[in-house]
Chain A
Amino acid sequence: MSTRTEPARLPRNPLFPLGVDYYPQGSDTSAPGEWYGDDFDSEFDAFRQARITLVRIYMSWKAFEPQVGVYSEQALSRLREIIESAGAHRLNLILCFFARVPGASLTDVAWGREKDPHTDPYLIERQAALIRSVVEAHCDDRAVFGWELADEAFCAAFESVADLESWVETMRDAVREFDDRHPVMVGADAETLFHTSRIDARAALSTCEVGIVHATPSYRGYIAEGPVLAPDSTHLGSYLLHCAPRGRPLLCDGIGPHTLDSSHAEEAALVRCALYATLMNGGSGALVRRWRDAAVERRTPYYLDPYEALVGLVDDESHDKASMQELRSFSRMVARLDLRALTRPVDEVAVLVPSERMAVPPTLASLYAPRSCLAAFARAKEAHLPVTTVREQDPYDPYAMIIVPSVTDLAEGSLEELATWVQRGGSLVYSYGGGEFGLVARELFGVDFLGHGGVRTKATCRIAQRDVLSGVEPFETRVDMGHFALLAPGEAIVLATDDSGNPLVTLNRRGQGQAICMAVPFERILGQGGLFGASAPVASFLRALYAAVGGMSGCAPKVTCDAFETEVVLLSGDDEDVLLLLNHYARDVTANVRFERRVASVSPVAGGSAVTVNDVAFGVPLGPFGVASLRIVYG
C-alpha cells in the first residue's frame, strides 16, 4: 500500500498538469445505468496524493435525460457532488459530454435510439440543451478546468467532415452561451481520428482552445507494428505531438497500457517513456488512461475494443503497480520545474507530412506516408536534431532543414516552394518514393531521371564523398525495396552509390542551400519493416545522413550526445538549464553529453546533492528505457 501523506504539502506543477481518465463504472458487473456509483471521494483523495491535478469525467446523457426534456435530479445531484468533492481535493475536472465508453452506454438514450445522434437535428438540439444546462449550473465552479464536447470514439462515428464541423460548432456555441472563460475541447487527435474514420477533423479541432494528442491502439498497430516498447513506437507520442496544430496547449492523454499483454515492468516503462516524451516535446500536460484496473469478468476469448481501458496504475485492490511509481516519481520531478523560466530548443528541422497522406479513399501512398514520416522523425531524433513536422501547406521558412521521406507525389506547387526555400539557404533531404521526377525535381536535385529501377531485395551503399558524409558507413543488407530511381548526375555531386555504381545519394548546391536526393525510399523501408533484423543498417545510415546534413545546415544542438538511443532535450533558463534524457532502447546506455560551456555541477531535478563536473562533457548512465533529469549549473 502507498504511504499516505498530507495532501496540502504535495506541490504540483500548474504549467504541466498530470491527469487521469476517471470512468463511470469500475467493473464489468456495474449496471449500465450506474453512473459514478463508486466512492469517488476516496478515489479523488488517491488522485490528489499522486499529485494529479486533472480528472476527466464522462457525462451520461442516458442518466441525465431519461425522458425527453426531463433531467434526472439524481444525476444532477451526483454531478454536483462530484464537482464539490473535486474542488475539496483541489482537483480540476474536464467534463466530457458525449463519449463512447465501452459497457457504459452513456449516449444511448432510450427515446432517441432510432435516430443518429451525430446528424439528427432534434437529437443535436437535445445534446446542446444538455450542455447548456450543465454549463450554466457549473461554469463558476472552481473545480471545472474545461468542457470536452466529445471523445474520439464518438467523433469516429461521424460520416462526413461537414457533419462533424457543424456538430462541434453547435455544441461549442452552447457552451459559450454561458461560459466564455473555460476552454472548450474535443477529445480527438486529428491524425488518429483520420486513420479510423477518414474524417479530416483538423478544421473542427482548430476551433478548440486546448488540443488533445494520443496514440490509439489501432493507430499504434498501424504506424509502428511491433512491441509497444520498440524504438519507433516509443517516439510515437512525440511524433503525434509535433503533428498536432501549433499555437495552443496540447494535452497528451491515453497514457498507459492498451492491452492486457504487457508485464508490470513493460507497463511501467511505457508510462515513463510517454510522460517524459510529452514533457520533452512541448506537451502541456499528460493524462493517464486509467487509475484502477477494471474488475472484469473472465472473458474467453477476449476481444479488445480499441477504446476500452482495462489496465490502470493500481490494481483492483488499490495496490500500486510499478507504473504508479513511475507517475509518482515523474510528478515529483515535474513539480520542481519552473516551466515559466525554461524554454525548449527551437525546432529547426522538420519532417514534411505530404498532402497525399490525406487521400480519401486511401491510396497506397497515403497508407505508407505516416510510417515513413515516423521513421524519419525517429531517426532525426536519434541524430539529436531538434525535429518537428510540417505540412505541405505550412510555411517552410522557420526551418533550416526539411526531410521529405519517401513521398510518391507532392501537391502542385510544393516542390517549387521547396526549391525557393533551398535557394534561400534551406537544406532539403528527399527520398524517392515512386512516381515520376518532373522538370522542377530534376533542376532542384541536379539529376536526370532515367526511370524506375524495379523491385530489389538487396540494399547496398558505397560512400563516394567521405568528407561530406562524415559518419555515414557503407552497408549491404537484404531488404525489400519497392522502388529505385535510376539517376544520372547532372550538376549534382554523387555522395554514395549502390554496388553497381548507380547514384544512391546526390547533393546539389543551389543558391545558398542544398538539395540531397536519395534514390531509394529508405524511410519507407524502415516504416514497413520496422527496426528489426536487416533494416538496422538502413536505420544507422539514415541517422548518420541526417546528422551530417544537420551539421552542414547549422542545426547542431547545443548539447551533443554520443548515444543515439537517448533523446536529449536541454530546457534553457536564465540562471540554470535543465537537461532531460530518455533512453528509447531496452538496453543499458551511457549517454556522454557535451556542452558548449563548462558545466560546474549537475544535480537531480527531483532532489539530491549536486555533483561537481568542471568540464564541458560528462556521462549519464541510463538503464533500459531509463530517464534522467538534471539541473545544469555553468561556471
Chain B
Amino acid sequence: MSEHVTRLAQAEEFARQGNVAAALAAAEQALSVDDKDAHTHCLLAALMLDEGFNEPAVAAAARAIEIDTQCAAAYLVLGLAYDRIGGMGDRSVLVWHELAEVAPDLAIAYVQLGEALYSAALHDEAVSAWERALELDPRDSRATYLLAIAAQSRQGTGAALAGFRRAAEFDLGQDEFFFALAGFERLAPPPAALDIAHIGPGAAKRLEVAYAFAAHEEYLKAAELIRAVLSESPDTVSALALAAYLYLKQDAINEATACALRAVALDGSDAAAIYALGMTLARRPALAHHATRLFSTLAEIAPSHTMSFVLLAESELALQHYAAAGDAYDRAIALDPGSVRALFGKAVVSLTQGDHSSAKWALGRAARFDIERAGCFWALYDGMAKGACQQ
C-alpha cells in the first residue's frame, strides 16, 4: 500500500471519529505525497467545512473538482460552503446544478438548488426544484418545510401550517418521543412468528409487545393486543394512550380523542396520554388552544425532550402566538441545536417578526444538520471511492 493511500485511510478514519486535527494532519501528509488526488482534496474540504472555515473549504473542493469533474462529494461541499458564506447566488446555483447532473437521484441537490434559487428571488424555479426533490424522495422533510415557507410568503401562515403538519408526519422523532414518554424506548421488533393469541400471561407483557408492534408499524397486531388488554382491564392508561396513538395513525381523530380523553381523565399526569390528547386536539383547528395547554403541561412533565417544546411551539404557531412560539422553539434548539423541525419553525417565526437574518441563519443551520445527519457527504465520498476501486 502506498504512503499516500495509508495517510488518506488514516485521515478518513480520524475524520469519521470526529478528530479533525488528526484528520487534517493526515490529509495534509497525504497531499504532500500526491497532490493530484481528488479524494484527499475532497476530504480536506469537508473537514474545513465542518470547522466552519468556508474559504479554505471552497479552495480544496474546487481543486478536487478540477482533478475529477465527477466528484459529487466535492460539489456537495463546495455548494454548502458557498451557501454558508452567503451572497454567492450565481455560483451556488451553478454548483447545485452540477451536483444534480453528477448525482441525478440525489434529492438534496434539488433541495439546495431550490434554496439557492429562492435566495435569488427566483421563487417559481425554487418551488419546481423542491417539487423535483419530493419526486425523488417523497419523505424529504426539508423540501416539504421549504415549500411550506414559500407558501407562507404567498398565502400566509395558514398555508405554511399545512405544510408543516405534512413535514412533521415524516419526523420519526415524534413517534420515538411518544414511545419514550410511555416508557417503551427502543423496543426490539417482536419475532415474526409470534402468535399474539398466546402472549402473556398478564396485561403488562401484552402491553409491552403491543408497543413493540406499534413501534415497528405493525399496527393491526398492536391493535389486537390492545383490545385484549382493554377487555381485561379497561382503565389501563398506557393501553388507552396507545389506542389513541394507533387511531391517530389511521386518521381516526374522533376515536383517538375518545381514548386519549379517557386516559387523561384516569391519570392527568401521564405524559403519553397528554401527548395523545394534545395531538388529537391539534388536528382540530377550533380546539387548537386546548392543545397548547396540553403541550404546555407536557413541556413541564418532560422538559428534557426537544419534542415537548417543538410541539408546544407548533401549537402556539397555529394560534399565531409568534412570540410564545419563538420562545418554545428557542428552548427546543437549546436542547438540540440540530433539530431541523425546530429550526424551520424558528425561521417561520423570525420571518413573521421581520428578523430576516435570523430566519436565513436558522434555515442554513437546518440544512447543515439535516445533511450531516443523513450522512450525505460520506455516502457520496464512499460511492466515489467504490467507483474508483472498480475502475
Q: Which positions in A face B, CB cutoff 8 Å? A: 217-218, 221-222, 225-230, 259, 261-263, 265-266, 300-304, 362, 364, 367-368, 434, 454-455, 457, 480, 482-483, 528-529, 532-536, 586
Contact = CB atoms under 8 A, between A and B. Distances in A.
Interface stretch (B100-108, B116-124, B242-250, B258-266): B116-124
B120 A300 contact: yes
Given A263-B354, A300-B122, A304-B86, A528 B52 contact: yes
B337 A303 contact: no
Contacts of B354: 263, 265-266
Contacts of A226: 361
Given A218-B55, A222-B53, A259-B86, 15 more contacts: A217-B86, A227-B360, A227-B361, A229-B358, A265-B354, A266-B357, A301-B119, A301-B120, A303-B89, A303-B90, A368-B51, A455-B18, A532-B337, A533-B336, A533-B337
Contacts of A532: 333, 337, 365
A152 to B, nearest CB: 16
A218 B91 contact: no
B324 interface: no
A582 to B, nearest CB: 19
A262 B357 contact: yes
Nearest to A225: B52
B187 interface: no
B237 interface: no
B310 interface: no
B54 A222 contact: yes
Contacts of B21: 364, 434, 482-483
B230 interface: no
Given A221-B85, A480-B18, A301 B356 contact: no
Interface string B73-110: 00000000000111111111100000000000000000
Interface string B49-67: 0011111100000000000
A407 B89 CA distance: 36
A302 B89 contact: yes
Contact of A364 (B18, B24, B360): B24
Q: Which of B20, B84, B117 has the most CB of A within 10 A?
A: B20
B303 to A, nearest CB: 14
7 contacts: A227-B355, A229-B357, A261-B86, A303-B89, A368-B51, A455-B17, A533-B335
A302 B116 CA distance: 10
B19 A218 contact: no
Given A301-B89, A301-B90, A303-B91, A221 B355 contact: no
A303 B18 CA distance: 33
Contacts of A536: 334
A228 B20 contact: no
Contact of B51 (A259, A364, A483): A364
Nearest to B362: A227
A266 B358 CA distance: 10
Contacts of A261: 86, 356-357, 360
Contacts of B335: 533-534
A289 B21 CA distance: 38
Contacts of B51: 364, 367-368, 528
A221 B21 CA distance: 22
A497 B53 CA distance: 31
A227 B357 contact: yes
A301 B333 contact: no
A313 B281 CA distance: 48
A292 B20 CA distance: 45
Contacts of B361: 226-227, 230
Contacts of B88: 303-304
Contacts of A262: 356-357
Interface in B289-322: none
A88 B184 CA distance: 80
Contact of A302 (B20, B120, B365): B120
A225 to B, nearest CB: 6
A480 B336 CA distance: 13
Given A300-B120, A482-B21, A533-B334, A217 B355 contact: no
B56 A362 contact: yes
A266 B85 CA distance: 19
Contacts of A364: 20-21, 24, 51
Given A226-B361, A304-B88, A534 B337 contact: yes
B125 to A, nearest CB: 9
B153 to A, nearest CB: 14
Contact of A225 (B84, B90, B117, B122): B84
A483 B84 CA distance: 25
Contacts of B85: 218, 221
A480 B18 CA distance: 9
A221 B116 contact: no
Nearest to A308: B87
Given A266-B356, A304-B86, A367 B17 contact: no
A221 B54 contact: yes
A228 B54 CA distance: 17
Contacts of A368: 51
Contacts of A265: 354-355
B252 to A, nearest CB: 37
Given A302-B87, A533-B337, A266 B355 contact: yes
A301 B86 contact: no
Nearest to A363: B24
Contacts of A263: 354-356
Identify which of A227, A259, A480 gathers the most chain B CB atoms within 10 Å of its CB: A227
A3 B19 CA distance: 61
The 5 A-B pairs at the shortest CB distance, nearest first, are namely A304-B87, A533-B337, A301-B120, A301-B89, A227-B357
Contacts of A218: 55, 85
B122 A222 contact: no
Interface string B312-351: 0000000000000000000001111110000000000000
Given A262-B357, A302-B120, A480-B18, A367 B87 contact: no
A347 B354 CA distance: 37
A365 to B, nearest CB: 9
B19 A367 contact: no
B119 A455 contact: no
